[in-house]
Structure 1
């Protein structure tokens, strides 16, 4: 097809519902396979929740080394996010996901077989490289394959797989702990399960197509058209290619593609600031204190160790259910008010966790009150904040540097996550659980103000139309 001048605006594309059923099935298969990267992300970040107490006994962990084992994955994820973003821009989204599947597999084996704390920290860092790379590459791949009107639902399937991975981790931890009892090395069985989805991801991506928008950004328009025909009707593919191609030419003329280009482009600098803010907002709620230390929080509230492991499954279940609700809402309400509602809900839940931990005596009442509030917190976090965060970060950057832009924003997200994961045990030890959660409440109020002032609305636009709007808004 001919690449039209970017001033020529193509006719509106027909809706995806007009596509043959085989095309819609192909789109579903692509989404399922790619989101195994999200399943691995969720499992590998959630499994430490139940494995850590057993690992502490076997490896002789102190509060400091507990924090290092937990947060080494997050530090690796920060590096993996920016590296993965650059690689996906340079080599393609599909090829990068294949590489990540290999890293997931090898790093999981490293964690499983680690004989001491030092090797565990190194292996967890390597696993973090894969988690960070997947956190960037999979949402971008899904956003670029999806039609505009279904982008929210399809991209947030990755968030559904993340929380499903966490639920799988919580459930398998509880089952393995009950079956294995106090036998040495029970945590190794908890970790090794993650090798299975890594194998599925690698074999599945072998037969998946490359992102059509990445192909267009490389000037490979014919290949982009062939991929679009797999996931669109013929007329929709033709209309979309002309829009994508025109913008790819414009981005090439502006040399958008890296850090120097971003610093030299004023509107991109402002957009990156917004991306950083969205990333911090998602983490500053303290969500991963519950994901990583949920079992310990419930134990401190009054549950026994085994009961806390079982009760923690409720956190995983509500995360999955809330994400289903979030996917449904994304097709019906705007992203920005949904994000603000989620923030308001998490702030209230954290405030009540702090209050209950402070005023209720230790025992059954406090234990179940704290559990109820962690479930409420996760309902707002996983039903609104997390899906909107990953969706917006996959949408707001220009095609030619989408992987890089999201990667840099994800570095901020993972470093924030790393800092919180590292200091949380020490904060609880020094300040108590109540005052620690009150800190997150204050941070949540500041986050709400940021979203209200700076975050744009992204719903209902193609990626190309959205880029034009953001270019005009921030220029």
Structure 2
């Protein structure tokens, strides 16, 4: 596409009728709330293992390695779920895909609850992993494609808020159940069973929400897309958006095909997928999910008693929710690149401080558990405020419509594989080199993440998905932030 055509898209975006207010805005927020129940399940099913693992280890006779297998089986399956979910959503639609995921969430939860031993537990966790991974690709894309560009960051970012709400809910449920019925056999089964409730709500709720209008346009079902947009926009705005989306779709469909061939044939598409992979893997190599999965174990190693660690573990969950809510505001007022660079700088500092604290305050020092808890809370707060929402929003924005599900699936596959290997080896790593070595390692990785974001991450805030798509397929996306920086300095 020529520079003139790109300028025309910018002018069309500027000429769009204002969003306005009314029942359609409430409808949009209601649809987003239902869809993000997938994020809530994502959070609960990944967070519940944090408190369920200790009693489960005794009942099922888990070793340090099989403990890692139970945790990481969900994560490895999530990697493949991300790939399958992305492809399925491109072919079958976003809405139907999320409905299928709700069924998998329910089946997986019930399988884990009734698991008589290690094998069935891993099988149930694999089913949950497929659902979690697919949800991590389909739900953000669905939200981004529904959202008007003016509020896309905050709307798409709500999924990450629901993920941490789900994790906090898991921590709270674990603390309540663990402290009330902790002496009873099979208490972990009750913790796992709670996940069935939001799965049922998601399944019923998705029956009442519309399909993604951008996906409908990609299928040449423009009248249906206009009908959908008319329920969540003013009529005038809906027609203008359909015209704009259709225009870029018609221009790009010969350039970007919905298959692997577009990755093979376009160096710009290959590059943006590599950027997406880098963003996803860097986010996981902060070690955030090691804290979410093994927070109780880390706090016990820091010096807390078992029940005290279970309660103290709620603190990172609370700060995660507060940070994610703050991140929704940042998504509307701060550039994505700036947010990510600040986030990686803060988390890297926290990693080194945790490592230093574990050296300066040896085991037995009464200050050790509290100092490490405070630093862990600061780390989680920095991560959720500046990194998690921005990463997921950016991943939902940067890929062309024709391969959006496939491309985000590839990126999130790599994200989940990094997550899975950390989940598998984190207990062994802490056992071998302790908190000190583990967090120093995360700190070194953080330095490389800062350099990657600074040199490779594109800027997307304040632009329509169609403008971003045009710049991706021409390569202009990689110089857009440099042009903006240069203009701001003049």
TM over 0.5: yes
Residue matched to 1:114: 115
Task: Give 1:251's aligned residue.
Answer: 252
The corresponding residue for 1:357 is: 358
Aligned to 1:143: 144
Residue in 2 that maps onto 1:69: 70
In 2, Cα distance between the equivalents of 1:361 and 1:418?
Answer: 30
Is contact 1:74-1:415 (8 Å) kept? yes
By how many angstroms is 1:99 displaced? Answer: 0.1
Residues 41 and 162, structure 1, Cα contact 8 Å, conserved in 2:
yes
Greater CA drift, 307-316 or 117-126: 117-126
Match of residue 407 from structure 1: 409
- 1:467 Cα deviation from its structure 2 partner: 1.0
Query: Unpaired segments of 5 or more residues in structure 2?
Result: 478-490
Q: Which residue of 2 aligns with 1:14?
A: 17
Specify the alignment match of 1:281 in structure 2.
282
Deviation string, structure 1 residues 116-139 (Cα, Å, up to 9, x no partner): 011111110110000000000000
Pairwise CA distance, 1:429: 1.5
Aligned-CA RMSD value: 1.4
- Report if the CA contact (8 A) 1:72-1:121 is conserved: yes
Paired residue for 1:376, among 351, 375, 378? Answer: 378
User: In structure 2, what is the equivalent of residue 325 of structure 1?
Assistant: 326
Distance in 2 between residues matched to 1:364 and 1:112, nearest whole Å? 38
Q: What is the rounded CA distance, in whole Å, between the counterparts of 1:397 and 1:207 in structure 2?
A: 28
Secondary structure at 2:458 match in 1: coil
Deviation of 1:15 after TM superposition, in Å, equals 2.2
How do 1:27-66 residues align onto structure 2 when only pairs under 5 Å count? 27-66=28-67
- Distance (whole Å) between structure 1 residues aligned to residue 397 and residue 333 of structure 2: 18
Structure 1 position 251, deviation (Å): 3.2
Q: Give the C-alpha shift of residue 255 in structure 1.
A: 4.8
For residues 51-78 of structure 1, give each alpha carbon's deviation from its aligned partner in whole angstroms, at most 9, with x where no partner exists. Answer: 0001000000000000000000000100
Partner of 1:270: 271
1:474 shift after superposition: 5.6
Query: Number of residues paired by the alignment?
Result: 469
> So what's the TM-score if we normalise by structure 1?
0.97
Q: 1:396 aligns with which of 370, 384, 398?
A: 398
Which is further off, 220-229 or 427-436? 427-436
Give 1:462's aligned residue.
464
Q: Deviations over 1:408-462 (max 9, x none)?
A: 1000000000111111111111112101111111000011100001001110000
Change (3 A) 1:391 1:7: closer
Q: Secondary structure at the match of 2:268?
A: helix
Using the TM superposition, give the Cα deviation of residue 248 of structure 1 relative to its aligned residue in structure 2, in angstroms: 1.8
Distance 2:248 2:190 in 1: 49
Q: Distance in 1 between matches of 2:222 and 2:334?
A: 34
Does the 8 Å contact 1:46/1:169 carry over to 2? yes
Matched, 1:166 2:167: yes
> Partners of 1:311 and 1:288 in 2: how far apart?
17
Q: Does the CA-based 8 Å contact 2:31-2:209 persist in structure 1? A: yes
Alpha-carbon distance in 1 for matches of 2:294, 2:70: 12
**What is the Cα deviation at residue 7 of structure 1?**
9.6
Note if contact 1:6-1:246 (Cα within 8 Å) is conserved in structure 2: no
User: Structure 1 residue 87 and structure 2 residue 115: aligned?
Assistant: no
* C-alpha contact (below 8 Å) 2:400/2:472 kept by paired residues: no
Deviation of 1:261 (Å): 2.0
TM-superposed deviation, 1:6: 9.7
1:101 and 1:201 in contact (8 A); partners too: yes
**Other structure's SS at 2:413 match:** helix
Cα pair 2:287 2:442 within 8 Å, conserved: yes
- 5+ long unaligned stretches in structure 1: none
Shift of 1:259: 1.6
Question: Contact 1:289/1:424 (CA < 8 Å) preserved in 2?
Answer: yes
1:252 and 1:330 mapped to 2: Cα distance?
A: 30
Cα gap change, 1:360 to 1:6, in 2 (>3 Å): closer
- Whole-angstrom CA distance in 2 between matches of 1:44 and 1:79: 17
The equivalences for 1:337-352 within 5 A come to 337-352=338-353
Alignment correspondent of 1:293: 294
